[in-house]
Amino acid sequence: MIREEHVLLIGFMGAGKSTVGRLLAERLQAPFIDCDKLIESRVGSSVSEIFSHEGEEVFRRMESEVLGSLSGTEPAVVACGGGVVVRDANRSALRRLGRVIYLRVTPGESVARIGDASTRPLLAGASGQLAATTLLDARESLYRSVADLTIDTVGKTPEKVAEEAIDWLGGDV
C-alpha cells in the first residue's frame, strides 16, 4: 500500500471482517491484522477465556491497547472486534488510524453465519438471536458514525464484498 494509513474493517460479529480482511490484504499486498487474534496471542488465552475469567471490561481495555499500538505502524488491513466502537476513545482512534469500512449484517444473518456461538461470549446465551438484535440495535449508529464507507454484506460472497471495498479504495491504496 502506498498511503500511510490502515484500512480498518468494523461491523457486527459474523459480518465477515476477518474473511474479507484477508482477501483485501492479499489484493492490496498489505499485512493483515486481526485484533482479536492479536489480543489472544499477547495474552495467551482465547477471547472467551478472557471474558469468563477477567470480564468484558478487561477485554475492552486490551482491545483499546491493541488499537493504540497500531499507530505509526506499517499500513495494514485491520479486522477489528465487533465491539470496538463501544468506547469513545476507540472511535476517535479508528478515525485517526485510517479509512474505516463498515461491513453491515443483519442479526439473523449474523447468528446464521456464526453457527456455534461458543467462541462469541456475547451471543452464547440461550437466545443468540435476541442478543444479536439488541446489541446491533445499540451499535448501529456507532458503526455509522466512524464509517467512511458502509457495505451491505447480506447475500454477498466475501469476494464480492472485497471487490466493492477495492473499487471504493480505488488506485489510492
Dihedral Cα 131, 159, 84, 92, nearest 10 deg: -140
- Binding to ligand S3P by CB under 6 A, coded x per residue (else -) over 19-38, reads -----------------x--
- The answer to whether residue 128 forms part of the interface with ligand S3P (CB under 6 A) is no
DSSP 8-class letter at 75: P
Q: Which of 43, 122, 124, 166 binds ligand S3P (CB under 6 A)?
A: 122
CB 89 within 8 A of CB 138: no
The total number of residues written for the chain in this structure:
173
- The answer to whether residue 77 forms part of the interface with ligand S3P (CB under 6 A) is no
The residue behind cell 446489541 is: 135
Q: Which of 81, 98, 107, 128 binds ligand S3P (CB under 6 A)?
A: 81
Using CB under 6 A, list all residues that contact ligand S3P: 13, 17, 36, 47, 81-83, 120-122
